[in-house]
Amino acid sequence: MVASNIARKGMGRILDGIIKYRQTLRPALLEEFQKVATGPSPEGLLLTCVDSRVVASRITQAVPGQLFIVRNPGNLVPHHNCFRNNVTVGGECGALELACSINKVQVIVVIGHSDCKAMNLLYSIRNELKSPSKGPLEDWLRFHGRGTLEQFKKLESSSGFDRKLVFAGAQHSEDDFEAYIDPRNEFKPSDKFSQINTLEQLKNFLTYPFLKERLNRNELEVHALWTDIYKGEVYMFSFQEKTFVKIDESTYKTLALQCV
């Protein structure tokens, strides 16, 4: 038995967690693993941030075999051009093919969050982009976050951050959509930046040929979620209401009807 009164860190803490898992969760999870051992039928792919405070499987209450989960700094979706001619090989492209082309999942969800350290960094250097990058994280954010920077400039140009933004099509190429970012002005500018970034990723799914075909046939849908990690609230972007709507008992039915 692991001593509970000893604070451990690093690999020791990980090993302690595994022992606790064996003693508490393993029996129940073993039943779930056995159910999907021979034929898992995943229903969706979540693309979220690597931030250790974002635990997508918990907020969605997913069980083993239900979801693919892809994580990278800033929940960014690289444009398909990045992977053409095998110039660059990325896990995002492979995961999208595995989930959507091979396993035929029905939904892709990009999940952003408040106080995103990756987005905070990009936000902080937004006016210093002519300066040399300080490392691979900045390189990643500068390259794949260009659209986010452009959209935020438009929002920032309005005195009250209340300008309507237009994003490129998410479900179909011709279906551009409008968005009002934080219309109640509840979040700080860097969190507004994070919400913009989450929406900006949706257009890039259409750049993947194997996704575009399924999107155009309405066999696949894409959505955006955003979490306030300090309040534990989850928001869904409503294409009808043109803003992020808090998911709770009063909004659930309306939001569910907006899903294909």
Tell me the binding residues for Zn(2+). 49, 51, 113, 116
8 A C-beta contact, residue 229 and residue 220? no
* One-letter identity of residue 74: G
Number of H helices, E strands in the chain: 10, 8
The token pair that represents 222 in the structure block: 């894409």
Which residue in 63, 58, 105, 115 sits closest to 223, CA to CA? 105
Distance in angstroms (rounded) separating the CA atoms of residues 105 and 45: 7
The token pair that represents 202 in the structure block: 């949706």
Distance in angstroms (rounded) separating the CA atoms of residues 122 and 126: 6
Which residue in 232, 234, 256 sits closest to 246, CA to CA? 234
Binding-site annotation, residues: 49, 51, 113, 116
